[in-house]
Amino acid sequence: MSGPGLFVSGATHQTAPLAMREKLSPGPDPAELHGRLTAIPGVRELALLSTCNRLEIYAVADDPAALRALEDAFCAHRQLDPEDFGRVRMTRRDRDAIRHLFGVAAGLESQMVGENEILGQVKDAYAAAQALRSTGPVLNRLFQKTFQAAKLARSQTAITEGHVSVANVAVDLASNIFGALGGVRVLVLGAGDIAEKTTKAFLSRGAAPAMTVASRTIERASDLASRIEGDSLPLAEVESRLKDFDVVVGSTSAPGTLISAAAVRQAMHQRPSRPLFFIDLAMPRDIDPEVARLENVFLYNLDDLAAIAEKNLAARTAEVARCRELLQLRVEALWSQLEHHLGPGAAGRENTGSPAPGGQFAG
């Protein structure tokens, strides 16, 4: 199909493996790439969306040939073999391009369906393109309507409800027990990646709880504690200090349990009215499963948290179709406005059709 149009070309986590996506990133100077691409004859407007999961070039071009020139220029800049790029390329045109961007901004195309970060990344991409003066009437309207559509999708459907990462699910559960987490005292057993991710999830929720890290080697505990502005504790003192904490996160690689039911029972005698929440992310487990039987004590292990995260993800995925339906009306409304801006050749086009195999447009 010839004539001017709104195009998107790029690769996403759905089409390209991580190693390929690394090669597709715009590089240290995105403005330089931007300048090269906008200089291509026939390219009227341009915006680059680059995240860890996608590189997408949104362009208003005179015809598909201009888009191909743009793709070639991109490959040349990134020192990519155009054939390699062709194998992972995703292209959309006109209505499909609008539909795609709406879906991206609403989080429908994300690895974690419904995640919020992508909307901010789309906004950043638009701001960058505006700063480089590469947007015009079509992309301006496209992005503004995209932000509205994404907000609508998030508010009218359950696409963002429930957390889908284990660490965030754990923090949610802590909120279900303690309410606001501002005054909550968290003890983290272990100083590895899981411990760090979990502490960051806690710290990301508004008022920061007091964090303490305990590890077999006090240096590692102190290292993580200093990064999260918390305290450190020798692992040997953990059981005797249990009464001082509200949430205990187990994430060590110790061969046996570190916290016994007897120690928890003892701690609860000293704080009967305050619940104690154990999150056991270790394998093998750090916390004796028997503690779950104790009054006012709650224990969730890795499987429990993963099951909740999966359930939340399934609930979000079930909302995708409803969300797309909601967005479709907006896609049609926007396209009817944009086709006039695109000029002769675009107006009156009934259907842009799906991209041909290999991502090339028919016609």
> Cβ neighbours of residue 348 under 8 Å, at least 6 residues apart?
339
Does 292 bind other proteins (CB under 8 A)? Our answer is yes
Does 290 bind other proteins (CB under 8 A)? Our answer is no
Choices 124-132, 207-215, 249-257, 308-316; region in contact with other proteins by CB under 8 A: 308-316
Contacting residue, 308, 326, 327, 338, with other proteins by CB under 8 A? 308
The residues in 315-354 that bind other proteins, with binding defined as CB under 8 A, are 315
Q: How far is the CB of 299 from other proteins (least distance, A)?
A: 9
As given in the structure block, the two tokens for residue 257 are 């349990």
Closest by CA to 61, choosing from 78, 81, 41, is 41
**Looking at beta carbons only, is 272 or 358 nearer to other proteins?**
272
Does 298 bind other proteins (CB under 8 A)? Our answer is yes
Contacting residue, 300, 319, 326, 335, with other proteins by CB under 8 A? 300
Q: Which residues are catalytic?
A: 52
Contacting residue, 123, 241, 274, 349, with other proteins by CB under 8 A? 274
Does 307 bind other proteins (CB under 8 A)? Our answer is yes
- Asked if residue 65 lies in contact with residue 113, where contact means CB atoms within 8 angstroms, the answer is no
Helix (H, G, I), strand (E, B) or coil at 189: strand
DSSP string, 16-40: S-HHHHHHHS--S-HHHHHHHHHTS
CB burial of residue 111 (10 Å; 0-12, 13-18, 19+): middle
What is the C-alpha separation between 347 and 69, in angstroms, rounded? 24
Contacting residue, 41, 176, 350, 358, with other proteins by CB under 8 A? 176
Please work out, in degrees rounded to the nearest 5, the angle formed at the alpha carbon of residue 50 by the alpha carbons of 45 and 52. 165
Choices 1-9, 192-200, 271-279, 345-353; region in contact with other proteins by CB under 8 A: 271-279
- Asked if residue 118 lies in contact with residue 42, where contact means CB atoms within 8 angstroms, the answer is no
State the distance between the two ends of the chain, measured CA to CA, in whole angstroms: 4
Closest by CA to 217, choosing from 196, 189, 197, is 189
What is the C-alpha separation between 177 and 297, in angstroms, rounded? 10
Q: How far is the CB of 291 from other proteins (least distance, A)?
A: 12
**Looking at beta carbons only, is 7 or 278 nearer to other proteins?**
278
What is the C-alpha separation between 231 and 209, in angstroms, rounded? 12
Choices 38-46, 54-62, 80-88, 294-302; region in contact with other proteins by CB under 8 A: 294-302
What is the C-alpha separation between 202 and 174, in angstroms, rounded? 9
Q: How far is the CB of 306 from other proteins (least distance, A)?
A: 12
Q: How far is the CB of 177 from other proteins (least distance, A)?
A: 5
What is the C-alpha separation between 129 and 44, in angstroms, rounded? 13
The distance from CA 143 to its chain's CA centroid, rounded to whole angstroms, is: 19
By residue count, the chain amounts to: 363
Choices 7-15, 85-93, 99-107, 173-181; region in contact with other proteins by CB under 8 A: 173-181
Does 101 bind other proteins (CB under 8 A)? Our answer is no
**Looking at beta carbons only, is 33 or 308 nearer to other proteins?**
308
Does 162 bind other proteins (CB under 8 A)? Our answer is yes
Helix (H, G, I), strand (E, B) or coil at 304: helix
Does 137 bind other proteins (CB under 8 A)? Our answer is no
Choices 53-61, 62-70, 168-176, 247-255; region in contact with other proteins by CB under 8 A: 168-176
Query: Site size for other proteins, by CB under 8 A?
Result: 24
Does 309 bind other proteins (CB under 8 A)? Our answer is no
| Gyration radius from the chain CA atoms | 26
**Looking at beta carbons only, is 79 or 176 nearer to other proteins?**
176
User: What is the binding site for other proteins (CB under 8 A)?
Assistant: 158, 162, 172-173, 175-179, 272-275, 292, 295-296, 298, 300, 304, 307-308, 311-312, 315
